[in-house]
Amino acid sequence: MNWHYEEAPLNGGAPGDAFKSSFNGAGKKPAAILAREAIQNSVDAALQANAPVTIDFQFKTLADGERIQFAETMALSDMESREPSLGLHKKNAIKDQKSPLQLLYIHDYDTSGLKGDPTSPSSNLRKLLMDLGGSDKAHDSSGTGGSYGFGKAVYSSNSRIGTIFAFSRTVDGNGNPISVLMGCAYQASHDFNGNSYTGRAWFGVQHNVPEKGVRYDPFQGEEAEKLARALGFEREDGSGTSILLIDTDLRPDDLIAGIEDWWWPRIDARLLYSKVIDDADDEHFPRPKKRKHLKPFVESFDMAKGVTPTIPGKQAQKTFNRLDSLQIGSFGSVVVDDSQDENPFGEEYEELLDTVALIRSPLMVVDYYRKWRPTASAPPAVGCFLAANDIDRILKLSEPPAHDKWDPSAGRLTVVDEEYPNVVQSTLQRIKKSFRDFQASAKPPAPPRPKRLAKLERELATWFGAGPKNQTPPPGPNPAPISLRLDGPHLEKVKDGLRARGYVEVRANGQMEGSVPFRIGLTLQVAEEDSVSQNDPIPLTLTPDLNFKEIDDDLWAATVDDQTVAQLEYVSEIYDPDWTVQLMPEVLPFTEEEQ
Q: Is residue 91 part of a domain?
A: yes
* Domain encompassing residue 520: 451-588
Same domain, 299 and 275: no
Cα gap 234→497, rounded to integer Å: 57
Q: Is residue 203 part of a domain?
A: yes
> Is the CB of residue 588 less than 8 Å from the CB of residue 457?
yes
> Is the CB of residue 325 less than 8 Å from the CB of residue 310?
no
Least confident window among 63-77, 396-410, 433-447, 454-468 = 454-468
CATH of the domain at 43: 3.30.565.10
For the whole model, what pTM was predicted? 0.79
Question: Which pLDDT value is given to residue 455?
Answer: 45
Same domain, 426 and 460: no
- Which of 195-204, 374-383, 528-537, 544-553: highest mean pLDDT? 195-204
> Is the CB of residue 304 less than 8 Å from the CB of residue 317?
yes
**Where residue 449 falls among pLDDT bands split at 50, 70, 90?**
very low
User: What burial class does residue 587 get, using C-beta atoms within 10 Å of its C-beta: 0-12 exposed, 13-18 middle, 19+ buried?
Assistant: buried
Return the SS3 of 87.
coil
DSSP assignments along 137-191, one per residue: GGG--S--S--SS-HHHHHHTTSTT-EEEEEEEEE-TTS-EEEEEEEEEE---EE
Of the three residues 221, 255, 286, the one that is the final residue of a domain is: 286
Same domain, 430 and 460: no
- Alpha helices (H) along 442-518: 451-463
- Confidence check: pLDDT of 451 > 80: no
Same domain, 219 and 271: yes
Question: For the chain, what percent of residues have pLDDT higher than 90?
Answer: 56
Dihedral sign for Cα atoms in the order 343, 347, 351, 356: negative
CB-side neighbour CA atoms (13 Å) of 184: 27
Length of the chain: 595
Return the SS3 of 489.
strand
Of the three residues 286, 311, 337, the one that is the final residue of a domain is: 286
The residue-averaged pLDDT of 142-153 equals 58
CATH of the domain at 557: 2.60.40
**Where residue 466 falls among pLDDT bands split at 50, 70, 90?**
very low
The residue-averaged pLDDT of 346-350 equals 90
Q: Is residue 82 part of a domain?
A: yes
Q: Which residues pair with 544 in a beta bridge?
A: 568
The amino acid at 213: G
**Sheet architecture: strand order including 555-560:** 549-552, 555-560, 516-526, 581-588
> Is the CB of residue 585 less than 8 Å from the CB of residue 504?
yes
The residue-averaged pLDDT of 207-230 equals 93
Same domain, 26 and 122: yes
> Is the CB of residue 145 less than 8 Å from the CB of residue 160?
no
Same domain, 135 and 220: yes
- What is the number of other CB atoms lying within 10 angstroms of the CB of residue 373? 10
Same domain, 422 and 470: no
Q: Is residue 595 part of a domain?
A: no
Of the three residues 269, 286, 303, the one that is the final residue of a domain is: 286
**Where residue 535 falls among pLDDT bands split at 50, 70, 90?**
low
- What is the number of other CB atoms lying within 10 angstroms of the CB of residue 213? 10
- Confidence check: pLDDT of 470 > 80: no
Q: 70-106: per-residue pLDDT in tens? A: 999 999 999 999 999 999 999 999 999 899 999 999 9
Question: Which pLDDT value is given to residue 133?
Answer: 57
CB-side neighbour CA atoms (13 Å) of 562: 5
CB-side neighbour CA atoms (13 Å) of 482: 28
Same domain, 162 and 65: yes
- Confidence check: pLDDT of 146 > 60: no
> Is the CB of residue 268 less than 8 Å from the CB of residue 237?
no
- Confidence check: pLDDT of 135 > 80: no
Contacts of 299 (CB under 8 A, 6+ apart): 308, 315, 332, 334
- The total of structural domains in the chain comes to 3
Same domain, 393 and 260: no
Q: 278-322: per-residue pLDDT in tens? A: 999 999 999 999 999 999 999 999 999 999 888 998 999 999 999
Same domain, 24 and 92: yes
Same domain, 365 and 480: no
The amino acid at 372: W
Same domain, 340 and 256: no
Cα gap 586→584, rounded to integer Å: 7
